[in-house]
Chains A and B, each alone.
Chain A
Amino acid sequence: MGSITLEHVNKSFGDVQVIPDISLEIRDGEFVVFVGPSGCGKSTLLRLIAGLEDTTRGKILLDGQDFTDAPPARRGLAMVFQSYALYPHMSVRDNIAFPLKMARTPQAEIDRKVEYAARTLNLGNYLDRRPRALSGGQRQRVAIGRAIVREPKAFLFDEPLSNLDAALRVNMRLEITELHQQLKTTMVYVTHDQVEAMTMADRIVVLNAGTVEQFGSPLELYKKPANRFVAGFIGSPKMNFVEGAEAGKHGAHSIGVRPEHFTLSTTPGAGTWAGTVMVAEQLGSDTFLHVQTDLGLVTVRTDGEQTFRHGQALFLTPDPSRIYKFDAAGKAI
């Protein structure tokens, strides 16, 4: 079991309010990602759940039981840190066994569980090494191993992949997702990378300045963003926003069009927005075009087969069914 409930949680550091008021319900077995720009309070929120920070007001319930004032050691949660936070003076084996030793598990059971975790995470050959003799990816695996042997109510991940190189990050992303499918334990994952959020989460919490902007499945956020912030944050490259008369035509204060929702033409007059290509970023599979129009710089995503050159005239037509409308406060209409 591992449901996590936050009731009107508030956190201030001195006079600075980081989280004004958050209520959330994370279901047992769910993979929930907290995503948002740096300083939005996502790590603080995770640390509140972990018990590493005290709530200023509000309640934190685990499986319906109040754990607001319980120390981290008593909460039965496991955490994987960005810095891995391995014990440098212990071997990999002792690192993984540490939580079991703290729980006074019999030695035979410790050995069995460490072996199992090492096999699952491909660490069998490294058990007697010290953390400093491991690569970044291996260290992260040890940190995960240390978390899984406890069989916690839930796993908390604090930007675990941001210290890894790009290729390894994709690998570890898959491994963590697979691990979740295998264990079916609740996971709460903090990241600033919306690609990680979209690919891993069952549901995403988008945070901004300590408040929840939207809580929903990745496709829900992509298709029905609640406001301009979510619309701009989810999706890569970012959504294009246009204000003024063009938005007025759609009865909105501002409108948004995702880069992938344009049809392109080079024939003069064959498009609603006329512009010239400033930069074409060829990725092979895709091409990102930065087009200067009368409405401003617009990013367009198109397939990788076509070639464009600087200064080329281009006519863009946004897909009318995929135009997002927002009111003056930025709320979706």
Chain B
Amino acid sequence: MARRVSVQTRIGFTVLAWAVALLLFSPILWTVLTAFKTEAEAIASPPTVLPHSFTLDNFAAVQERSDYIKHAINSIIVSFGSTILGLVIAVPASWAMAFSPTRRTKDVLMWMLSTKMMPAVGVLIPIYLIFRDLRLLDTVHGLTIIMTLINLPIIIWMLYTYFKEIPVDILEAARMDGAELWNEIVHVLVPMAVPGIASTLLLNVILAWNEAFWTITLTSGRAGTLTAFISSFSSPQGLFLAKLSAASLLAIAPILLLGWFSQKQLVRGLTFGAVK
């Protein structure tokens, strides 16, 4: 049944929706605008909205002070590497839990999720020591491993949910058609779960890209990602607000673009199976 909504109510809600959206977006907008201001204008009081003297000096200064490209490459390797490694582990794990559950499957899933509820700093010391002893500190592969482990529960949970939507009959049909386990997963399960796998991939790339705690604590110069790159600009000495904004803009731009172009896929994947 269509509900009758008066014009005033509709206008009211539209204004409210825009206001909330702008409020949420304003920090990012402010960062973007500040990135093109001079350092003096960035801290001017009263603050200016649009940059008076448009400048690209901040970006040049940022690239000069610390190598943006190197950090960006590290970010790409760590976020995509950890997600793909995670998927390789999670696809069989989720397959097993979705299609041959045991009495303990729910407990295993809950246990996996519970590891995400624990504050990361709780395991900082043991992980730091393990990384030191294995000589993984400040290495890209070490960071990829820790990022895989951190996001694995989410990857497994997401895939598990998508796999649950796949009718088991179809997998059984594949078994009857002579498909051994590997062929069943590669030729039937994975192609059917492509939307789910794609959105899992996207979401976890974004999560790994934005991860700051482990990247900052486990890296110094060599393996730093873009989050470490930004934090290096938040120093108490000197006025760096405009440069910090430029660095932030450079760091979030790639992932913002990825999110923008894949938003359809993301929404489809995240609501997959919600309505049959």
Contact = CB atoms under 8 A, between A and B. Distances in A.
B84 interface: no
Given A73-B178, A99-B178, A102-B178, A85 B173 contact: yes
Contacts of B194: 89
Interface string B161-198: 00000010110111111111001000110011010000
Given A83-B167, A85-B172, A102-B183, A146 B191 contact: no
Contacts of A52: 172, 175-176
A87 B188 contact: yes
Given A81-B169, A83-B167, A102-B183, A88 B176 contact: no
Given A72-B172, A79-B173, A102-B183, A85 B178 contact: no
Given A89-B191, A102-B183, A77 B170 contact: no
A73 B177 CA distance: 6
A77 B175 CA distance: 10
A50 interface: yes
Contacts of A50: 176
Given A83-B167, A88-B192, A89-B192, A73 B180 contact: yes
B176 to A, nearest CB: 4
B175 A73 contact: yes
- The dominant DSSP class at the A interface is loop
A99 B177 contact: yes
Task: Select the residue from B180, B187, B192 with max chain A CB neighbours within 10 A.
Answer: B187
Contacts of B167: 83, 85
A316 to B, nearest CB: 48
Given A85-B170, A87-B170, A72 B192 contact: no
- The dominant DSSP class at the B interface is helix
B198 to A, nearest CB: 14
Contacts of B188: 87
Given A83-B167, A88-B192, A89-B191, A102 B177 contact: yes
Interface residues of A, number: 24
Contacts of A103: 178
Contacts of B180: 71, 73, 102
B177 A71 contact: no
Interface size grouping (class) on chain B: 10 to 19
Contacts of A146: 173, 177
A134 to B, nearest CB: 15
Contact of A73 (B170, B179, B191): B179
Contacts of A73: 175-180
A150 B192 contact: no
Contact of B175 (A71, A150, A156): A71
A150 B172 contact: no
Nearest to B191: A89
A88 B166 CA distance: 11
Nearest to A79: B176
Nearest to B171: A85
A71 B182 CA distance: 14
A78 B176 contact: yes
Interface in A91-136: 98-99, 102-103
Contacts of A71: 175, 180
Contact of B169 (A77, A83, A102, A156): A83
Interface in A127-153: 146, 150
Given A81-B169, A83-B167, A98 B191 contact: no
Interface string A315-333: 0000000000000000000
A106 to B, nearest CB: 16
B82 to A, nearest CB: 28
Nearest to A104: B178
Contacts of A79: 172-173, 176
B169 A72 contact: no
B192 A102 contact: no
Contacts of B178: 73, 99, 102-103, 150
B173 A81 contact: yes
A312 B26 CA distance: 85
Nearest to A77: B176
A71 B178 CA distance: 9
Interface in A64-90: 71-73, 77-79, 81-83, 85-89
28 contacts: A50-B176, A52-B172, A52-B175, A52-B176, A72-B172, A72-B176, A73-B175, A73-B177, A73-B180, A79-B173, A81-B169, A81-B172, A81-B173, A82-B169, A83-B167, A83-B169, A85-B170, A85-B173, A86-B170, A87-B173, A89-B192, A89-B194, A98-B177, A98-B187, A99-B177, A102-B178, A102-B180, A103-B178
Given A73-B176, A102-B180, A150-B177, 5 more contacts: A73-B177, A83-B167, A85-B170, A87-B173, A103-B178
